[in-house]
Amino acid sequence: MAKIDFGGILEDVVTRDEFTIEKTREILKNEVVAVIGYGVQGPAQALNMKDNGIDVIIGQAPEFKADWDKAVADGFVPGKTLFDIEEAASKGTIIQYLVSDAAQRMLWPRIKPQLKEGDALYFSHGFSITYKEHTGVVPPSNIDVILCAPKGSGTSVRRNFLAGAGINSSYSVFQDYTGKATDRILAIGIAIGSGFLFPTTFEKEVYSDLTGERGVLMGALAGIMDAQYQVLRENGHSPSEAFNETVEELTQSLIRLVDEKGMDWMYANCSATAQRGALDWRPRFKEAVMPVFKELYKRVKSGEECVRVLQSTGAPNYKELLNAELNELGNSELWKAGAAVRKLRPGNR
């Protein structure tokens, strides 16, 4: 492990330089990795491992035809490397449980009997284990329980891998029955395309993840954009101007500077007028949203957000309701303006 200084705090980070793909292949040479669920994270992690020379099979319910057909299109062969869920879980020695959180609760009675002594049960989210009183996912004591959580969507995991960049991931060992759980999870972490692996716990992973998704990464970002766009429109600005100042400049210019060298670098490369305004208004926005973030974290830690997720995503008409909400978002003037602006980009006309 490398010691990295994070603003005066030293943290252990595992890199591909020290934990090489050759070491990964050696550790996993006798393992069969069964990827359960070919939806969001499953395809990316499975294909990256396959490309890295790892023995990978897929467990997917055939009745979910789109996901089954995608696995076939990606080169997995029914009866050889593609099976129903129970059969794949029984054949695997490392079982990657990559269905949705609600599906993990529902499928657990079918998965648990397939786990053999010495197997490893792998998660990419700490949800089911941390909130076990709500999910009922309690692993047997004679297996390893491990986690690797890429900090990005499955699409990003695959794209970064193909670009040779890798993606940041968190990792954790919840239960080490075999004595080799740490080696297993670090090897899998590298095999799925992680560039850097940061230690965490199942609990901290899910608390930070749920807070981030509801906060800066998705919920807060979309809400702030809605508010600024609305204010600009109410004051007579055109849809294109309001969209450009709310979204386009952020995604196509400024956030790339933040990614490159940090927020101070982005500020330094903007006008003096922009710098002054941003520095003045930053504390006001922080003060305004701090109570919301504190309430959000409290709800995540107490399990209230877990209950909300399980109740809503477990409803029989959930997909219908979700699509209605997503359509409402996509059909808003803000994102219709966005679609029009994107069409003007080179290559889209």
- Output the 3-class SS for 53-98: CCCEEEECCCCCHHHHHHHHHCCCCECCCEECHHHHHHHCCEEEEC
Rounded CA separation 240/252 (Å): 15
| pLDDT tens per residue across span 233-289 | 999 999 999 999 999 999 999 999 999 999 999 999 999 999 999 999 999 999 999
pLDDT at 182: 97
Tell me the backbone φ, ψ of residue 57, rounded to 5 degrees.
Answer: -125, 160
pLDDT at 349: 64
And the tokens for 172?
Answer: 């954790």
- Nearest of 306, 334, 342, 281 to residue 135 by alpha carbon: 306
- Residue 315 binned pLDDT confidence (cut-offs 50, 70, 90): confident
195 SS3 class: strand
Any catalytic annotation for residue 237? no
Measured in whole angstroms, the distance separating CA 201 from the mean position of its chain's CA atoms is: 16
pLDDT at 281: 97
Q: Is the dihedral of CA 152, 153, 158, 160 positive or negative?
A: negative
- Nearest of 157, 129, 166, 211 to residue 44 by alpha carbon: 157
- Nearest of 104, 129, 342 to residue 240 by alpha carbon: 342
| pLDDT tens per residue across span 34-90 | 999 999 899 999 999 999 999 999 999 999 999 999 999 999 999 999 999 999 999
pTM, whole model, 2 decimals? 0.91
Distances (CA, A) of 107 to 23, 84, 122, 323: 33, 12, 15, 24
| pLDDT tens per residue across span 192-214 | 999 999 999 999 999 999 999 99
Of the candidates 76, 94, 99, 125, the residue annotated as catalytic is 125
Percent share of the chain, pLDDT over 90: 89
- Nearest of 64, 60, 103, 66 to residue 83 by alpha carbon: 60
Contact 59, 83 (CB under 8 A): yes
| pLDDT tens per residue across span 18-29 | 899 999 999 999
* Stretch 134-139: mean pLDDT: 96
For 75, other C-beta atoms within 10 Å of its C-beta total: 11
What pairs with residue 36 in β-bridges? Answer: 59, 97
Q: Is the dihedral of CA 293, 256, 7, 123 positive or negative?
A: positive
pLDDT above 90 (res 12): no
- R_g of the chain, CA atoms, integer Å: 22
Rounded CA separation 341/242 (Å): 11
DSSP line for 127-154:
HHHHTHHHH-----TTSEEEEEEESS-H
Rounded CA separation 148/191 (Å): 11
Q: Which residues of 58-69 are buried (b: 16+ CB within 10 A; e: fewer)?
A: bbbbeeeeebbe
- Residue 105 binned pLDDT confidence (cut-offs 50, 70, 90): very high
pLDDT above 90 (res 116): yes
Show the domains of the chain with their CATH numbers: 2-200 (3.40.50.720), 215-343 (no CATH)
